[in-house]
Structure 1
């Protein structure tokens, strides 16, 4: 497994994680994407703990996590944020799946699939692009509307610099991205093995 550089989380690649799973020494895999993204495809045995819920309830979740935890998202950015959150609670042996679920699938590793949905990053591109396009069109008749487009552009630049996304956080709370089992009690029950899960039984 890779070691962490200063201010960067430790990572594990898809091949290393698959070897651990095949050896029976599986770490706890937490997928921090939205329930909608998780339902579309996820690593068998993974638990869905959306990033916003993990941030809000990290102390409660900590009591139900093993020493070895691998965090997964689409490409690694949200998992890195989750790692920072859990690292502050003192949880050891945290790792981020390098390249996220995209790298896992690219390595032809097994996934469980459900109803297809757009991932959160694609939704952000659609909404941000639509707002910018609409603002430019409206600015022809309504001077000043172009500042809406400028604000969206500035927001995207801040999102890139800070590795966060306010628009993504808002979109993740929409019914399209939420599932029936994304409340704290259900997730804790899954982690304790007392509730059904889309991953590990």
Structure 2
């Protein structure tokens, strides 16, 4: 659920683009998986996946003394990162409103790599495949259709809590991991930019 405080912290793609073009660009932390980041990201962004950010937020705080904009695909993971960093005491946090989806739709500049499916699309594929397979197999094996019901319940819970266990599990697959984010390299880059 979006609160008034998180809405106030949102930054539109047009506003961020203007800040960057006028040399007042904030630090951009992209909290998507390394594979998603390598597919497409905003030039100058640092990739700090959400789990890594949560684990190393105290270490990052020492090098984030200016405005920080958090980026993900649509804004949900960035909002979680905002909460984690705010709880650790970091002020000046903003979330890119609409995430990379809105950034690209606005025609803003991006760096592109090898195309990969984003996490949301992967979750839809896996959940849909499980529901379809168990639904059809349930015609022959009594009770098997309940697996699809369990998946539906999990997706409903994920929507209510703004989390996604299936997405977390999928992010651990080799396809999504890519090279592990080296937090020391990120911190060194942040320090060098100061």
Say whether the fold is shared (TM-score over 0.5). yes
Aligned match of 1:72 = 71
Structure 1 unaligned runs (5+)?
194-199
* TM-fit CA distance, 1:26: 1.1
Unaligned runs of 5+ in 2: none
Following the alignment from structure 1 to structure 2, what is the Cα–Cα distance between the partners of residues 88 and 145? Answer: 43
Q: What's 2:142 paired with?
A: 143
**CA positional deviation for 1:8:** 4.8
For 2:22, the equivalent position in structure 1 comes to 23
Tell me the C-alpha RMSD between the 2 structures. Answer: 1.6
CA distance in 2, matches of 1:63, 1:130: 44
Q: Which residue of 1 aligns with 2:85?
A: 86
TM-score of the superposed pair, with normalisation by structure 1: 0.89
Aligned length: 191
What's the CA shift for 1:64? 2.1
Which residue is equivalent to 1:197? none
Work out the CA distance in 1 between the residues paired with 2:139 and 2:8: 47
Deviation at 1:7, TM superposition (A): 5.8
Task: Give distance in 2, aligned partners of 1:7 and 1:74.
Answer: 17
TM-score by length of 2: 0.92
Contact 1:28 1:66 in 2 (8 A): no
Q: Is the CA contact 1:76–1:96 (under 8 Å) kept in the aligned structure 2? A: yes
Q: Secondary structure at the match of 1:155?
A: helix
Which structure's residues are more often helix, by fraction? 2
Shift of residue 24 of structure 1? 0.8
User: Could you list the runs of 4 or more consecutive aligned residues of structure 1 that deviate by over 6 angstroms after TM superposition?
Assistant: none
